[in-house]
Amino acid sequence: MTPEMARRRIETLRAEIAEHDYRYYVLDAPTWTDAEYDRHWQELQELEREFPQWDRPDSPTRRVGGAPRSDLVSVRHDQPMLSLDKVVDQAGLRHFDRRLHERLGLPADFALTYVGEPKIDGLALSLLYEDQVLVRAATRGDGVMGEEVTANVRTIRSIPLRLRPGSRPHRLEVRGEAYLPRGAFAALNRELEAEGIRGFVNARNAAAGSLRQLDPRITASRPLAFSAYGVGQLTEAGLPDGQDALLAWLREAGFPVSPEIRRLEGMEACWRYFEQLNERRDALPFEADGVVFKLNDRMGQERAGSVARAPRWAVALKFESEETETTVEQIEFQVGRTGILTPVAQVTPVFVGGARVAHASLHNVSEMHRKDVRVGDRVILRRAGEVIPEIVRTVMAESGSRALPVPEPTHCPACGSPVERDLGGILIRCSGGLHCPAQKKEAIRHFASREALNIQGLGEKRIDQLVRADWVRNPADLFALEVDRLAGLERMGKRSAEKLIAAIQASRNTTLARFLYALGIREVGATTAELLAHALGSLEAVQEAGLDELCAISGIGPIIGHHIHAFFDDPGNRDVIGRLREAGITWSSPAPQLPASGSRFAGASLVLTGRLTTMTREEAISAIRSLGGVVSSQVSAKTRYLVVGENPGSKLDDARRLGTEIVTETEFRDWIGFPPETSGPHLQ
């Protein structure tokens, strides 16, 4: 074969392969079988080997990945790659639309035409074509400077190495999202984990990790996809006037464009589009974290312009998600009623799981170490349903130094007492007891809580004031408060002081079980308190009971027994109890509670699974029992309801299989007449 004949054959093969790729990846309508494809490919490879003079950067054979490099090179974007303003609800979307109307000087009732596009969760790419050929690909980076990844991008089969024939600008910069399709992402993580390598936390990290590789052969082994959504240089003559026409033009030029994209007239249509996509989001072949709305008209886009780093003519409406990324700003330790120090991360506020979150729990020091969460880390934060937001894990930065791990406190942050380890080192606890202001406050909050003495109007802020003024050191001090003194407190008039005193006085009439619970004995929840009251009948009997007597009560084991015994052995506690009795706290002898026959729980069997976050398990069980229900440990055909808390176990699967009614913690709270939980300690 002469070199000239070879050149012609090579060109034909390249064009045919490119056409096939286009049909396969863009039109989703392949014409060749795999065998035909391989045959053409092999023929091309052999000819190129024999005639290296016809080598070209846009040959499909370049897609297998070239030689590895030693580092990624920074490049400057001719036009900055902007980011998008985000909104999280319909009100935010309407606000965006109103502002755009104002800016364009249009009457409010004029329906603007938008293009709705899925916001694919991947990595933004800039693809530069000169004289039809892909000459440079870069990541977005910080929007001004990106990283050059041309060799890696060539391995993405759906990205044309050469534009399809037609009238094309001399220089064209296409922008879009590179991503790993849902299935490919899951398969990649399975593969990595089988090799003992930690998988990617989400599809976006997987796409970024696959593209920002020094060895293009690794990128080639990852089935990355691409979806075009715009053109970098909008001033280029000859481009269509609307976003919808631009996308059609891009598709014609050879680029995959999402089939989900729609032209939408007015806000109603935009909202419907969002809702429909949101409903189908788990069935989409890519991960999407929202929808992008773009003003269709290019003239309008130019008139609206951009602010800082985002255009005024486009907005991202995010799907509600249970997980998001944020940054840890601080890690502090909160002291609970029993002195346990809980590490809580203060994070850059984010909207997740339908709420704004600024704090997230790290549960305990051992969890904090296991997850190795540090100040400054980017982390995945999860808030599902009613659950207290938690940090799932740190997203490892590929470079850059991290802060040192937060040291475990040796002293209580509230009172300075040394800490003690508990539960084999999992927990740390302040040894200050009721000398510790944080424990004091928590003890009083517990004493006044609804399930205990139920003192109306004694909220966190009031308790804080009272403890800070040193008027209240323990629950007994509440009963010595006087109206005149109280009225002198900030934000407290005479009337509210009177009301509070009246509520404190009214709380004196209670039950033995509530009183025992209110004392805040370790491990004694409402159910155990009830057991004690029923079994022993009087406070004196509980106070005098020996360890053996306590452990003989069904439901009380040696650990709880020990805590009860130790509590009443403590002279300080005995003193407080004496003062409380003197203050006039009374109860009639405990009568067994009768099942309320009308309740939905009467005679019903319930099972609890997972950790309840707004009440203790004992409280839940006690509430079910007092409403006539029975609590079982296993889900069976007889189970009426399964109450689901955080991290439910296999019981949830059993319930689903058996068709048992599943009840969330919120619903459950509502059924048992607990007030809705509006703000936990970690929520804002």
Instruction: Tell the smallest beta-carbon distance from residue 178 to ligand IVH (Å).
Output: 9
Q: Which residue is nearest to ligand IVH (CB)?
A: 124
Q: Which two tokens stand for residue 367?
A: 């969890």
What residues contact residue 501 under an 8 Å CB cut-off, 6+ apart? 481, 482, 483, 486
Instruction: Tell the smallest beta-carbon distance from residue 266 to ligand IVH (Å).
Output: 20
How many Å apart are CA 214 and CA 68, to the nearest integer?
5
Nearer CB in complex with ligand IVH: 301/573: 301
Nearer CB in complex with ligand IVH: 119/514: 119
Instruction: Tell the smallest beta-carbon distance from residue 156 to ligand IVH (Å).
Output: 15
Nearer CB in complex with ligand IVH: 302/653: 302
Q: What residues between 278 and 317 interact with ligand IVH by CB under 6 A?
A: 292, 311, 314, 316
Of the residues 6, 15, 84, 111, which one makes contact with ligand IVH according to CB under 6 A: 84
Please state, as a whole number, how many other Cβ atoms lie within 10 Å of the Cβ of residue 147. Answer: 17
Active-site option among 86, 119, 371, 440: 119
Number of residues that bind ligand IVH (CB under 6 A): 15
How many Å apart are CA 670 and CA 601, to the nearest integer?
13
Q: Is the dihedral of CA 28, 31, 32, 33 positive or negative?
A: positive
Kindly indicate which of the ranges 78-86, 195-203, 342-350, 548-556 contains the residues binding ligand IVH, using the contact rule CB under 6 A.
Answer: 78-86
Of 576, 427, 451, which is closest to residue 524 (Cα–Cα)? Answer: 451
Of the residues 177, 287, 377, 477, which one makes contact with ligand IVH according to CB under 6 A: 177
Of the residues 116, 169, 230, 256, which one makes contact with ligand IVH according to CB under 6 A: 230
The verdict on whether 119 is a catalytic residue reads yes
- In sequence order, what are the beta bridge partners of 175? 126, 230
Indicate whether 140 belongs to the interface with ligand IVH (CB under 6 A): yes
Q: What residues between 510 and 549 interact with ligand IVH by CB under 6 A?
A: none
Residue whose token pair is 């004091």: 440
Instruction: Tell the smallest beta-carbon distance from residue 117 to ligand IVH (Å).
Output: 4
How many Å apart are CA 302 and CA 574, to the nearest integer?
77
Of 83, 17, 15, 6, which is closest to residue 50 (Cα–Cα)? Answer: 6
Q: Is the dihedral of CA 197, 198, 203, 205 positive or negative?
A: negative
Instruction: Tell the smallest beta-carbon distance from residue 124 to ligand IVH (Å).
Output: 3
Of the residues 96, 129, 229, 668, which one makes contact with ligand IVH according to CB under 6 A: 229
What is the distance of C-alpha 666 from the center of its chain? 19
How many Å apart are CA 100 and CA 312, to the nearest integer?
7
Nearer CB in complex with ligand IVH: 302/482: 302
How many Å apart are CA 238 and CA 257, to the nearest integer?
20
Of the residues 21, 48, 97, 117, which one makes contact with ligand IVH according to CB under 6 A: 117
Nearer CB in complex with ligand IVH: 119/565: 119
How many Å apart are CA 155 and CA 218, to the nearest integer?
10
What residues contact residue 601 under an 8 Å CB cut-off, 6+ apart? 624, 627, 628, 629, 671
Nearer CB in complex with ligand IVH: 175/382: 175
**Where on the chain is the footprint of ligand IVH (CB under 6 A)?**
82-84, 117, 119-120, 124, 140, 177, 229-230, 292, 311, 314, 316
Active site residues per annotation? 119
